[in-house]
Amino acid sequence: MASFYGFEPQNPLFLGTAQYPSPAILAEAVKRSGAEVVTVSLRRESAGGAGQAFWALIRELGVKVLPNTAGCHTIKEAVTTAQMAREVFGTDWIKLEVIGEDDTLQPDVIALVEAARILADDGFKVFPYTTEDLVVGGRLLDAGCEVLMPWGAPIGSGRGLNNPYGLRSMRQHFPDTPLVVDAGIGLPSHAAQAMEMGYDGILLNTAVAKAGDPAAMAEAFALAIRAGRQAFAAQPIEARDMAAPSTPVMGKAFLA
């Protein structure tokens, strides 16, 4: 079981809390997912009365909160948002997003590394939303991050794992670092695929919040993550190009 800054969830699903049809459906989805961590945007919390009601709901669910800097485009914006989130949510955990480009919501990895360094030096436990770039991953670890969160695909796209090769390389390159695929997951099978590669967790939002039945989809993701993790631990066979008979040929009836 992976440890995220000392926290070892039974269920490594990090569930987003935005875009649900209603607070009641959000609550039901969190319950049925079995998620122990939810990610929350500071913007929502600061939205006056609605924000207070939302925060009360999250507290009632009894889950750990991972505030995020969603929507931040600069180092200054992300660092300030993280500092405010620490005050509001009473946690030093921060999911760090510094967006670099609006078509793909791709992280600005240069600004990300600098923001991660500032926040880690300030005592934050940083969960950086990054790409599958190995050099950037190394820089983030040097900056003080103990978890890396490469994207599966652009946020909200539901495309799944755009670059399985890159994600596999990342797993091999950082064997001892907790790795979470964050963003772009559309189906439970995408989550299972990442867990089968040996990833330690999945962060997703849109695929559950925008599903026809968010609570049922949340449960489907929990099942898929469990299946993928168990499959990885069970050491899957290597894929091969040629057939290998699965039925023994010994003792086969032989006609001369």
Ligand X SMILES: CC(=O)[C@@H](O)[C@H](O)COP(=O)(O)O
Q: Quick one: 33 or 205, whose CB is closer to ligand X?
A: 205
Q: Vertex 85, ends 84 and 91: CA angle to 5°?
A: 125
d(CA 220, CA 228): 12
125 catalytic? Reply is no
User: Among 52-60, 177-185, 215-223, 234-242, which window interacts with ligand X (CB under 6 A)?
Assistant: 177-185
Q: Which of 64, 95, 125, 210 is catalytic?
A: 95
**Could you say which of 33, 36, 38, 39 contacts ligand X (CB under 6 A)?**
39
Strand partners, 66: 39
In whole angstroms, the minimum distance from the beta carbon of 159 to ligand X comes to 9
Residues marked as binding for 1-deoxy-D-xylulose 5-phosphate?
Answer: 156, 183-184, 205-206
Q: Vertex 226, ends 220 and 230: CA angle to 5°?
A: 145
Tell the residue number behind the tokens 């599966």, with chain if given. Answer: 152
**Could you say which of 28, 108, 182, 200 contacts ligand X (CB under 6 A)?**
182
69 binds ligand X per the rule CB under 6 A? no
d(CA 210, CA 20): 7
205 binds ligand X per the rule CB under 6 A? yes
**Could you say which of 4, 9, 12, 16 contacts ligand X (CB under 6 A)?**
16
Task: Tell me how far apart the terminal alpha carbons of the chain are, to the nearest angstrom.
Answer: 56
- CA distances for 175 relative to 84, 143, 148, 194, angstroms: 33, 18, 12, 15
- CA distances for 134 relative to 59, 84, 193, angstroms: 37, 30, 20
155 binds ligand X per the rule CB under 6 A? yes
User: Among 42-50, 169-177, 192-200, 205-213, which window interacts with ligand X (CB under 6 A)?
Assistant: 205-213
Q: Which residues have C-beta within 8 Å of that of residue 251, sequence separation ≥ 6?
A: none
In whole angstroms, the minimum distance from the beta carbon of 160 to ligand X comes to 10
Q: How many residues bind ligand X (CB under 6 A)?
A: 19
Any idea which residues carry the catalytic annotation?
95
Catalog residues that contact ligand X under the rule CB under 6 A.
16, 18, 39, 68, 70, 95, 97, 129, 155-156, 182-185, 203-207
